[in-house]
Amino acid sequence: MKYFSLNHKAPEVSFQDAVVKGLAPDKGLYFPKEIHKLPTSFFETIDTLDHVTIAYEAIKQFVGDEIPEKDLKEILKDVLSFDFPIVSVEENISALELYHGPTMAFKDVGARFMARCLGYFNKQKDIKEDVTVLVATSGDTGGAVASGFLGVDGVEVVILYPSGKVSDIQEKQLTTLGQNITALEVNGVFDDCQDMVKKAFLDEDLKTKHKLTSANSINIARWLPQMFYFFFAYKALKRNNKKLVFSVPSGNYGNICAGMMAQRLGLPIHHFVTGTNANNIVPEYLKTGTYTTKSSVQTISNAMDVGAPSNFIRIEELHHHDFNALKTNLSGYSYTDEQTIEAINHLKDKHNYIADPHGAIGYLSLKKYLETTYDAQGVFLETAHPIKFLPVLPKAIKESITMPPQIEAIIDREKHSLKISNYDQLKTYLLQ
């Protein structure tokens, strides 16, 4: 499979090159040149297939012959070694829990897939060439990447995170592993981290010294495996025979965009809903037709504190840059922190379901959309385990959460980070 840059000013590349480069040299995001629908027989028999087979069918055209079937299936088996439960919350509404992996957020799947692909490519080479993975995190990416890449041969990982703006557990997950993982604590917001990472990719001095790649969802190997969740949910809910609506709490819009890719492969999804916090760029765009990025605002759903969603361009590409086509397929709503807490309490009191702030926004947005839609089965994505957001949860809910073993294992470890405030300090670090 060939990938082209969405800025259209860079050469087409292979899957491997797109993964190793992260971003195209013209700063564009890579996008697959062709997208082929899966056969109807696949969807008819999906309930008889296991997760690895489903994932393989979904991703194989995007990898092409660059990883042989046997190896790709091995990678997928390893990546998907935990559950993706669908939990019924109320009539016609289910939660798709994507937080049962090692760092308890949905990003584990993408991070693990990318790490294993890079590991595979490195093994094929006679001359080892180290790759440096540079990643900005608003909270959960850092932990997922640290865990996914820990100990991978020939890969150094540098994580940039905004100081004081990630939760304690998120910070522990990305600052305590050591080995090939380094955490840089940035005096700024997430967008500052993301800007520094983007700048580093285009810096000629760095390019001569390092093979730099990104492990944010701009990287196709992080982004595309997120399609799997939507297939798994479809498999679980198919027998209901209702119109399927997915509500995806969104920040950089990689996850929801992967869902739209699954839809392009033929997965019968009726509609998408995006839920956001005060960082409401996309809902505003859907309302007004004007796309205006902003500086990000801090909220209790911190993984969505993104003021310039990097994957939105891929969503536009998938809808042929047609605003009306996009509006038909996507609705968007935004909620305040107060409304988010209210929803968390409501879900616990009325439905005995414990949601995290992101999932709660997904729930609210879904409810809003379903007010006007009949005969639909709604699914909101529970993108992280509530324990990752303990300080902001109401007291009664805090007390009813038990500590999962994945968190127990890191909570008392010592934090190691290097503080930086500007791009020059990042560059100096990378050059030393």
Ligand X SMILES: *Cc1c(COP(=O)(O)O)cnc(C)c1O
Binding mask 319-338 for ligand X (x = CB under 6 A): --------------------
Instruction: Please state the closest distance from residue 251 (CB atom) to ligand X, in A.
Output: 4
281 binds ligand X (CB under 6 A): no
Q: Is 107 a catalytic residue?
A: yes
Cα–Cα distance for residue pair 249/381, rounded to 1 Å: 7
159 binds ligand X (CB under 6 A): no
Residue 231 gets the label, from left (phi > 0), alpha (psi -120 to 50) or beta, of alpha
Name the nearest CA neighbour of 22 among 257, 217, 261: 217
Among 304, 347, 366, 410, binds ligand X (CB under 6 A): 304
Task: Please name the helix (run of DSSP H) or strand (run of DSSP E) that holds residue 156, with its range, or none.
Answer: strand 155-162
Name the nearest CA neighbour of 328 among 415, 410, 260, 420: 260
**Residues in 18-77 at the binding interface with ligand X, rule: CB under 6 A:** none
Instruction: Please state the closest distance from residue 217 (CB atom) to ligand X, in A.
Output: 5
Cα–Cα distance for residue pair 316/344, rounded to 1 Å: 32
Site stretch for ligand X (CB under 6 A), options 22-30, 152-160, 173-181, 253-261:
253-261
> How many DSSP H helices and E strands does the chain contain?
20, 13
The CA–CA distances, whole Å, from 407 to 100, 102, 103, 386, 412 equal 11, 9, 8, 12, 9
253 binds ligand X (CB under 6 A): yes
Site stretch for ligand X (CB under 6 A), options 4-12, 78-86, 195-203, 252-260:
252-260
283 binds ligand X (CB under 6 A): no
DSSP 302: G
Instruction: Tell me which of 2, 70, 107, 242 is the catalytic residue.
Output: 107
Apex CA 316: angle with CA 313 and CA 320, to 5°?
135
Instruction: Please state the closest distance from residue 263 (CB atom) to ligand X, in A.
Output: 16
**Residues in 340-359 at the binding interface with ligand X, rule: CB under 6 A:** 358
Instruction: Please state the closest distance from residue 398 (CB atom) to ligand X, in A.
Output: 18
Per the DSSP assignment, residues forming a β-bridge with 418 are: 184
Among 24, 95, 105, 300, binds ligand X (CB under 6 A): 105
249 binds ligand X (CB under 6 A): yes
Site stretch for ligand X (CB under 6 A), options 20-28, 63-71, 83-91, 250-258:
250-258
Q: Structure tokens of 370?
A: 């379903």
3-class secondary structure, 3? strand
Binding site for ligand X (CB under 6 A): 105, 107, 139-140, 217, 249-255, 303-304, 358, 383-384
As annotated, the active-site residues are 107
